[in-house]
Amino acid sequence: MHPYMVQSGDTLLRIARRFDINVHALLAANPALSSMTPMVPGILLAIPYGTESIYCIQPGDTIIGLADRFGCTIQALSAANPHLDLKRLVPGQLLNIHGRARKRIIDARAEYGHRELQRDIALLEREYPFIHVRAIGESVLGKPIMAIKLGEGPIKVHMNAAMHANEWITAPLLMTFVEDAASACHKGDKLCELDIRALLKKVTVWFVPIVNPDGVELAQEGLHPGHPNYSELLRWNRGSTRFTKWKANARGVDLNDQFPAFWDQEVERRDVHGPGPRDYPGHAPLSEPEARALADFTRDECFDLAVALHTQGQEIYWNYRGYEPEGAVNIVKLLAQASGYRPVKLKGSDAGYKDWFIYEFRKPGFTVEIGNGVNPLPLDSFYDLYDEVRPLLLTAMEAAGQV
């Protein structure tokens, strides 16, 4: 065993991922904990030795040299040591060395939020210099809303995820797709029998993996006394510090009811008159910085096709009040064939991103409800979900050229 002090943002799964052990081993080593115990910063845990070693950095060590010595990638070392600046190694620092090197940058074994996204974007940029990244705005609490660009083609596609807080699993799903597409482009490989390098010469894709970073943090970590909106959030969440059912942002506004497409009718339909876990459209369309950033970004880039990832239901919503273009029905059939999901011609829903995109631009937009079950979907279903969504996203990129 070796000691570990809980840090801000830690969860059981994040700690287990960091030390390459499973949660059951962590709980067995710390009998005072339970899977329901909030992780309070400062608590000292006992970490059982797994497939990880601890190395004390010596004078003259470099990150490249250590990666070679221990037979792992720089990315694996960085992922295992998020608390260290690996560009400036200091003798005496302790380095976590995974005995089983991971081949991927994106690690979906634990909650995926703003910190993981920032780290992975930096690693992807280092590995694939042709990726372009920019912040399109900020959340209520000042977290940057990041966008990632792949491709150089004239056809422009947009994909976003994690607009609803407790649907955060859509973020690592989208990021895994970004990594796979970038890797295939770099190596000249195919993905699902598609030549990605050739496709990305025809198509440019902008990904926004986490639209709602503040809400995602609440859904994953719960509410802690230091939160700047602590009193209000506690009241809006009926006195509970558990936020696993929370869909809204840090001001209790449902971002997917924020867009100016018959917003007034959505307000009447929802009949929710104040902030809360879900369904409050806010006091005006685009009142929230996250929704406003996404709308401004969409207007600036003039996308030809858009896909918004949500959970759950294994359905694809593709229409909006008859404003969708004629070709949308053909595209949704292709998406359904690729994923096994059911196309649904939706009625009685307004003010969502997909609704506004179709209404504003008269171009094909899709809301994809990934998986089946109860939100948040469990992480142990991640790779099954990815097998469903990967061909759908590739098909959307291909089909955008048919618009």
Catalytic site residues? 369
Rounded-to-integer distance, Cα 208 and Cα 163, Å = 10
Instruction: Tell me how far CA of residue 274 lies from CA of 223, 248, 254, 270, 332, in angstroms.
Output: 19, 12, 11, 11, 35
Alpha helices (runs of H) in 188-262, residue ranges in sequence order: 196-202, 213-221, 230-236
Mode of pairing for the β-strands spanning 365-370 and 315-317: antiparallel
Q: In this structure, what token pair is assigned to residue 131? A: 């990726």
Rounded-to-integer distance, Cα 346 and Cα 328, Å = 13
DSSP character string of 306-362: EEEEEESSSEEE---TT-S-TTHHHHHHHHHHHH-PEEE---S--SSHHHHHHHHH-
Cα 388 to chain center, whole Å?
16
Rounded-to-integer distance, Cα 321 and Cα 162, Å = 25
Determine how many CB atoms are found less than 10 A away from the CB of residue 201.
14
